[in-house]
Amino acid sequence: MSSENRGLTERKKQILKAIVDAHIEGGGPVGSKSILQNQQLKCSSATIRNEMAELEEMGYLEQPHASAGRVPSELGLRFYVDTLLEHYAMTTHEIAQINNLLRAKMGELDQILKAASNLASNLTNYTGIAIKPRVSSVSIAKYETIYLEPTHYILVAVTSSGAVKSKHVRTEAEITEEELERLSGLLNAHLTGIPAEQITLPLLMEMETRMGEGAWQVGVAVKVIYALLRELDEGEMSVSGINRLLQYPEYSDVSHLQELLGTLEKKEDILDLVSRSQNDDISIMIGSESQVKVMNNSALVFKPIVKDGRTVGAIGVIGPRRMDYAKVLATLEGLSGNITNMLETDKQLNGGRSDGGN
């Protein structure tokens, strides 16, 4: 979402930027004396006060108390992000930490996203989130089985979106390696390329007939497949560094903090926001822009991870509306670039197969 430049002069832009920068750093209202210290502004304190009053009338600033300075409004923050934000130059140490993520060579996507979310939290000092978005009409493209012992094997499924899910399957009766190989062949012959609702009873009965001895294993495997598909449809979200919110005065109201924590725990609202994302651009949702009521005092910034034209995940941060957007954007761009490189490398090593991790 972009804000309109409703006749802001260069001086008003400089003053608004100085106020937002000071508010991000200190958290409180900003007065004209603080702005006067800005070396780029060559004007009097009276002029600054007049400009601040006009910015308030235009909706870019707010005055919490009659005798206090101003704070940026939601509109002011949006204009700052869209127009005034300067590039953040990451330190050598920050770049090294991000690059170390690539060298970790984690095999599964959920592990990669969680590690990136945790690092985003550490680098920005906000709460990190890792998301695998909801997938509509997901199906399985390929099944593999790994025999461990007579009552224990691993069922591996490569989804239509390119992700890989694995489930440990334990059985009451024993299954031989030959029977497991036959079961794997049946799953690939009958249960690939179709959504869960098309796995019908007649289809299962046919598979049991073809299975012959050990036909009961078909039902066991299909039950696991249903659970796997349900997990993919629901999406996943993990949160890192939630305790970091406590250091910001915006969350000193216990009831508001509990509401936000409840939203993070339930995950549905945020999953909906990310799952609706149509491209790999960074999304910045400030306050009420998120359409999640408990986020009115917060900002959500996330970066989708796209592979082969599909959104396979997202990383982001949640913090106060006055978050350091420049640093957040640079961090998420750096992390997402490393994840994309990691997935592309994994694809090349697998001979072009687009697994994409778990």
CATH number of the CATH domain containing 331: 3.30.450.40
% residues pLDDT > 70 (the chain): 90
**Domain's final residue, options 182, 206, 234:** 234
User: What is the spatial distance between Cα 232 and Cα 37, in angstroms, rounded to a whole number?
Assistant: 54
Summarize pLDDT for 110-119 with one digit per residue, the tens: 888 999 999 9
Q: What is the mean pLDDT of residues 238-255?
A: 92
> Are 108 and 68 in a shared domain?
no
Angular region, 71: left φ>0, alpha ψ -120 to 50, beta rest: beta
Query: Which range in 2-6, 28-32, 41-45, 338-342 is most confidently predicted, on average pLDDT?
Result: 28-32
> Are 188 and 203 in a shared domain?
yes
Q: Which of 11, 102, 21 is nearest to 48 (CA)?
A: 11
Higher pLDDT pick, 351 / 319? 319
Rounded alpha-carbon distances, angstroms, from residue 137 to 22, 59, 233, 313: 48, 44, 8, 17
Name the percent of the chain in helix, strand, coil, to the closest 5.
50, 20, 30
| b/e per residue 59-90 (b: at least 16 CB within 10 A) | ebbbeeeeeebbbbbbbbbbbbbeebeeebeb
Taking 50 as the threshold, does the pLDDT of residue 3 lie above it? no
User: Is residue 354 a part of any domain in this protein?
Assistant: no
Average confidence score pLDDT of the chain: 86
**352 secondary structure, DSSP code:** T
User: Is residue 357 a part of any domain in this protein?
Assistant: no
Q: What is the mean pLDDT of residues 311-334?
A: 94
CB 35 within 8 A of CB 22: yes
User: Is residue 57 a part of any domain in this protein?
Assistant: yes
Taking 60 as the threshold, does the pLDDT of residue 351 lie above it? no
Taking 80 as the threshold, does the pLDDT of residue 103 lie above it? no
> Are 17 and 56 in a shared domain?
yes
Tally of domains within the chain: 3
User: What is the spatial distance between Cα 283 and Cα 24, in angstroms, rounded to a whole number?
Assistant: 19
Q: Which residues contact 10 (CB under 8 A, 6 or more apart)?
A: none
> Are 258 and 345 in a shared domain?
yes
Q: Which of 228, 161, 169, 158 is nearest to 199 (CA)?
A: 228
> Are 326 and 177 in a shared domain?
no
> Are 221 and 247 in a shared domain?
no
Taking 70 as the threshold, does the pLDDT of residue 350 lie above it? no
Residue-range definition of the domain harbouring residue 118: 92-134+235-349
Prediction pTM value: 0.74
Summarize pLDDT for 121-163 with one digit per residue, the tens: 999 999 999 998 776 667 889 999 999 999 999 999 988 766 7
> Are 299 and 335 in a shared domain?
yes
pLDDT value at position 15? 93
